[in-house]
Chains A and B, each alone.
Chain A
Amino acid sequence: MASTKEKLIAHVSTETPVGSTNKVTVVGVGMVGMAAAISVLLKDLTDELALVDVIEDKLKGEVMDLQHGSLFLKTHKIVADKDYSVTANSKVVVVTAGARQQEGESRLNLVQRNVNIFKFIIPNIVKYSPNCIILVVSNPVDILTYVAWKLSGLPRNRVIGSGTNLDSARFRFLMGEKLGIHPSSCHGWVIGEHGDSSVPVWSGMNVAGVSLQGLNPDIGTDKDKEDWKNVHKMVVDSAYEVIKLKGYTSWAIGMSVADLCETILKNLHKCHPVSTLVKGMHGVKDEVFLSVPCVLGNSGLTDVVHMTLQPDEEKQLVKSAETLWSVQKELTL
């Protein structure tokens, strides 16, 4: 006897269904990975989302929880597995996996631990999605983007680090607070190394094209009576402060990742400050990744905007590059 489904629905198409053209994979279902996943889902960016992790129970629980929200979403296929075959044919792969720094652990040791994790992850990603764009979020992001690039064998335009996209978002938020304007109307770029030695480019800060440095030539210096320099300090301290208060950061980085994914998947050609290979730029001689304004689209990172930096700003970039290289050259890849 015909089943209820057979009585209800008649299959008429003779073609095999076309697979996803904008599939997103998130590697790592910790707080950052899941914040990125929910942001990508709520922005309707993809028709297929895949999650991968090593902890199977947590992974299954997270995917079920997301699937139960299907009624409210426009992503019909949400899948997860420990096996990377579930990630096949992804357009963008967001890598949030990795170990966190233990108390007293040297940066080099943390990096080597994460290199070992990446040695498993990255080749698997590329095996199943040879044409994907890898977006590295795990910290220290600039080094790990370099590592991902080396391990993947992909061209440099397809391996991007989330870099200072979040630092710049925080900077613009604080700038907006000081001026009483929405962050999207406050323009300011933080570049270089994601973290303590990021570089706020004061000359570029503007609202409606009006340069703030033009209004206040001391901006960003110690002489500045309005202490705008403190805004950058607050950006650097942000992550530590949020971690101290709630244990980790998730929402802001998740939203910033979704923002990057949107530009890539929709081929927007928007400029974002993200981590890319900067050898040969701004006096950097080593093969390192640092954040500069880049044009992103569906073939990844196609162009870099050349900023006009002050000599001391360039010096900072070169110094960061040297620090990163000193760590990178000790790694066994």
Chain B
Amino acid sequence: MRSLRACGSCGIAPSLRPCSFTASAACRQAVCSWQKTCIYTTQDKTKLKTPTNIMASVMEKLLTPVASDACELPTNKVTVVGVGQVGMACAVSILLRDLCEELALVDVIEDKLKGEMMDLQHGSLFLKTHKITADKDYSVTANSRIVVVTAGVRQQEGESRLNLVQRNVNIFKHIIPQLVKYSPHCVLVVVSNPVDVLTYVTWKLSGLPKHRVIGSGTNLDSARFRFLMAKKLGIHTSSFNGFILGEHGDSSVPVWSGTNVAGVNLQSLNPAIGTEKDGENWKEVHKMVVDSAYEVIKLKGYTNWAIGLSVADLTESLVRNLGRVHPVSTMVKGMYGIGNEVYLSLPCVLNSGGVASVVNMTPTDQEVAQLKKSADTLWSIQKDLKDL
């Protein structure tokens, strides 16, 4: 519960950060995130009201405080870094799913940041997240449970994800250490592309144990795969089970051997499924998944809703300690014969500590070969990255 300690100068409202009117002694408390100065001093800044010459305010007459001044830390604060289309879609999805008691936004473009924060705050009546803050300064992110990183430059039309790399690495060198400084116990969820490389970069820059750095990875690819497969079968997306693993993007691996509805394995019904020999051409579905992002970008300029929803889904497992299995990007050195430190998507059990465990799949030799190939490609980029 927020402290009801009132502003030292005007004797009225409690609020979210120090009033910038006096910045210290006189007015230490009361500024709502809306204004930079105390609401009660905006009219005439030269006149600083002292508690003695003010009648009991409406608030003082209305409420009798009973709690002590103890400042309580948030238990499930979420920070979103980057207020572009993806960041805001993540933020709105997280808010509308009631996943956090406090949401913080960070970005470098101050106007846009303030505007987005205000727009979300104006929806407070319809939400169950009482504290929505934003600042360029990372101190606003302090004590976060989960930090979603969407910052970075976005894929241009026709640009492959791997081309974004060094541009985004330089941005991360500024972001990641600050996040860890203010929230040393958080779980970092990296969304920015190329996600597998940037999750590796984040892990290196953060110094956090590997299970606390996750990449959104193929969570979205798998969601798209399940949508398209389910549509062909006329059932709800969630009733079709199937994973796409490995690298998020062009060389992702659809694990056909695991695809099933109600436990009925599709590959046993159609042994050629996913191969060139398959008369029904199910392989086309995976191709559509790979092409999805490019297609949506071509049509509307960017993608945001699906990735936002998928990130909220991951956040739910993390915040609510659910232990659900998600295909997310995790450190896979030592698995499937991969010798380098790379991040690739595998089915992971997510709980409040991050990745609790990885599900041991039984992929075919061809699928293992594809994973290894992705690992090699990623490592060839990673080894040349500067200053990690």
Mostly, the A contact residues are helix
Give the CA-CA distance A5 to B118 in the complex, in Å: 49
> Do A225 and B111 have beta carbons less than 8 Å apart?
no
Give the CA-CA distance A226 to B13 in the complex, in Å: 10
Q: Within 8 Å of chain A (Cβ to Cβ): is B226?
A: yes
Please indicate the chain B residues that have their CB under 8 angstroms from the CB of A182 in the complex.
124, 130
> Do A179 and B63 have beta carbons less than 8 Å apart?
yes
> Do B123 and A252 have beta carbons less than 8 Å apart?
yes
Out of A4, A180, A226, A245, name the residue touching B40 (CB < 8 Å): A226
Q: Within 8 Å of chain B (Cβ to Cβ): is A169?
A: yes
> Do B299 and A252 have beta carbons less than 8 Å apart?
no
Q: Within 8 Å of chain B (Cβ to Cβ): is A155?
A: no
Please indicate the chain A residues that have their CB under 8 angstroms from the CB of B93 in the complex.
38, 42
| Interface membership of chain A positions 47-79, coded 1 if the CB is closer than 8 angstroms to chain B and 0 otherwise | 000000000011011101111111111001000
Give the CA-CA distance A39 to B93 in the complex, in Å: 8
| Interface membership of chain B positions 291-318, coded 1 if the CB is closer than 8 angstroms to chain A and 0 otherwise | 0100111111101111011101100000
> Do B55 and A225 have beta carbons less than 8 Å apart?
yes
Please indicate the chain B residues that have their CB under 8 angstroms from the CB of A60 in the complex.
299-300
Q: Within 8 Å of chain A (Cβ to Cβ): is B76?
A: no
> Do A246 and B124 have beta carbons less than 8 Å apart?
no
Please indicate the chain B residues that have their CB under 8 angstroms from the CB of A43 in the complex.
96
Given contacts A225-B55, A246-B115, contact A68 B124 (CB under 8 A): no
Please indicate the chain B residues that have their CB under 8 angstroms from the CB of A216 in the complex.
57-58, 61
> Do B15 and A65 have beta carbons less than 8 Å apart?
no
> Do A5 and B237 have beta carbons less than 8 Å apart?
no
> Do B305 and A38 have beta carbons less than 8 Å apart?
yes
Residue with the greatest number of chain B CB neighbours at <10 A, chosen from A174, A212, A255, A258? A255
Please indicate the chain B residues that have their CB under 8 angstroms from the CB of A5 in the complex.
232-234
Of B20-28, B264-272, B352-360, the stretch lying at the interface with chain A is B264-272
> Do B2 and A180 have beta carbons less than 8 Å apart?
yes
The number of residues on chain A lying at the interface, defined by a beta carbon within 8 Å of a beta carbon of chain B, is 71
Q: Within 8 Å of chain B (Cβ to Cβ): is A289?
A: no
> Do A226 and B58 have beta carbons less than 8 Å apart?
yes
Given contacts A58-B300, A72-B312, A246-B112, contact A67 B227 (CB under 8 A): yes
A199-246: which residues lie under 8 A (CB-CB) from chain B?
A: 207, 210, 212, 215-216, 219, 225-228, 230, 234, 238, 241-246
> Do B92 and A69 have beta carbons less than 8 Å apart?
no
| Interface membership of chain A positions 159-186, coded 1 if the CB is closer than 8 angstroms to chain B and 0 otherwise | 0000000100110111011111011100
B210-240: which residues lie under 8 A (CB-CB) from chain A?
A: 220, 223-224, 226-227, 230, 232-238
Please indicate the chain A residues that have their CB under 8 angstroms from the CB of B14 in the complex.
180
> Do A70 and B266 have beta carbons less than 8 Å apart?
no
The number of residues on chain B lying at the interface, defined by a beta carbon within 8 Å of a beta carbon of chain A, is 81
Please indicate the chain B residues that have their CB under 8 angstroms from the CB of A8 in the complex.
233, 261, 264, 266, 269
Give the CA-CA distance A28 to B373 in the complex, in Å: 45
Out of A71, A172, A207, name the residue touching B226 (CB < 8 Å): A71
Give the CA-CA distance A186 to B305 in the complex, in Å: 32
Given contacts A38-B92, A65-B303, A68-B292, contact A173 B125 (CB under 8 A): yes
Given contacts A42-B96, A169-B123, A256-B126, contact A246 B111 (CB under 8 A): yes
Q: Within 8 Å of chain A (Cβ to Cβ): is B362?
A: no
Please indicate the chain B residues that have their CB under 8 angstroms from the CB of A183 in the complex.
124-125
Q: Within 8 Å of chain B (Cβ to Cβ): is A299?
A: no
Closest CB in chain B relative to A71 CB, distance in Å: 4
Give the CA-CA distance A220 to B116 in the complex, in Å: 28
Mostly, the B contact residues are helix
> Do B122 and A166 have beta carbons less than 8 Å apart?
yes
Closest CB in chain B relative to A267 CB, distance in Å: 19
Q: Within 8 Å of chain A (Cβ to Cβ): is B182?
A: no
Q: Within 8 Å of chain A (Cβ to Cβ): is B119?
A: yes
Q: Within 8 Å of chain A (Cβ to Cβ): is B328?
A: no
Q: Within 8 Å of chain B (Cβ to Cβ): is A259?
A: yes
Please indicate the chain A residues that have their CB under 8 angstroms from the CB of B234 in the complex.
5, 9
Closest CB in chain A relative to B136 CB, distance in Å: 13
Give the CA-CA distance A69 to B232 in the complex, in Å: 16
Given contacts A215-B61, A226-B12, contact A62 B300 (CB under 8 A): yes
Please indicate the chain A residues that have their CB under 8 angstroms from the CB of B227 in the complex.
67-68, 70-71
Residue with the greatest number of chain A CB neighbours at <10 A, chosen from B96, B97, B120? B96
Give the CA-CA distance A7 to B44 in the complex, in Å: 78
Residue with the greatest number of chain B CB neighbours at <10 A, chosen from A38, A69, A73, A241? A69
Give the CA-CA distance A228 to B233 in the complex, in Å: 59
Closest CB in chain B relative to A210 CB, distance in Å: 6
Q: Select from chain A the residue with minimum beta-carbon distance to B31.
A: A177
> Do B112 and A4 have beta carbons less than 8 Å apart?
no
| Interface membership of chain B positions 251-292, coded 1 if the CB is closer than 8 angstroms to chain A and 0 otherwise | 000000000010010100110010000001010000000001
> Do B296 and A64 have beta carbons less than 8 Å apart?
yes
Q: Within 8 Å of chain A (Cβ to Cβ): is B140?
A: no
Q: Within 8 Å of chain B (Cβ to Cβ): is A251?
A: yes
Give the CA-CA distance A261 to B168 in the complex, in Å: 41
Out of A61, A70, A174, A180, name the residue touching B300 (CB < 8 Å): A61
Q: Within 8 Å of chain A (Cβ to Cβ): is B372?
A: no
Out of A39, A179, A219, name the residue touching B13 (CB < 8 Å): A179
Q: Select from chain B the residue with minimum beta-carbon distance to A173.
A: B124
Closest CB in chain A relative to B367 CB, distance in Å: 20
B177-217: which residues lie under 8 A (CB-CB) from chain A?
A: none
> Do B269 and A65 have beta carbons less than 8 Å apart?
no
Closest CB in chain A relative to B85 CB, distance in Å: 10
Give the CA-CA distance A207 to B234 in the complex, in Å: 50
Please indicate the chain B residues that have their CB under 8 angstroms from the CB of A212 in the complex.
58, 62
> Do B124 and A65 have beta carbons less than 8 Å apart?
no
Q: Select from chain A the residue with minimum beta-carbon distance to B13.
A: A178
Given contacts A70-B227, A207-B62, A216-B58, contact A7 B269 (CB under 8 A): yes
Question: Apart from A76-B236, A166-B122, A245-B114, what are 7 other A-B pairs with CB-CB below 8 Å?
Answer: A38-B89, A64-B295, A65-B300, A71-B313, A73-B309, A173-B124, A177-B39
B interface list, Cβ under 8 A from A: 2, 4, 12-15, 32-34, 39-40, 42-43, 54-55, 57-59, 61-63, 88-89, 92-93, 96-97, 111-112, 114-116, 118-127, 130, 220, 223-224, 226-227, 230, 232-238, 261, 264, 266, 269-270, 273, 280, 282, 292, 295-301, 303-306, 308-310, 312-313
The 6 closest A-B pairs by CB, nearest first: A61-B300, A245-B115, A246-B115, A61-B299, A252-B122, A68-B306
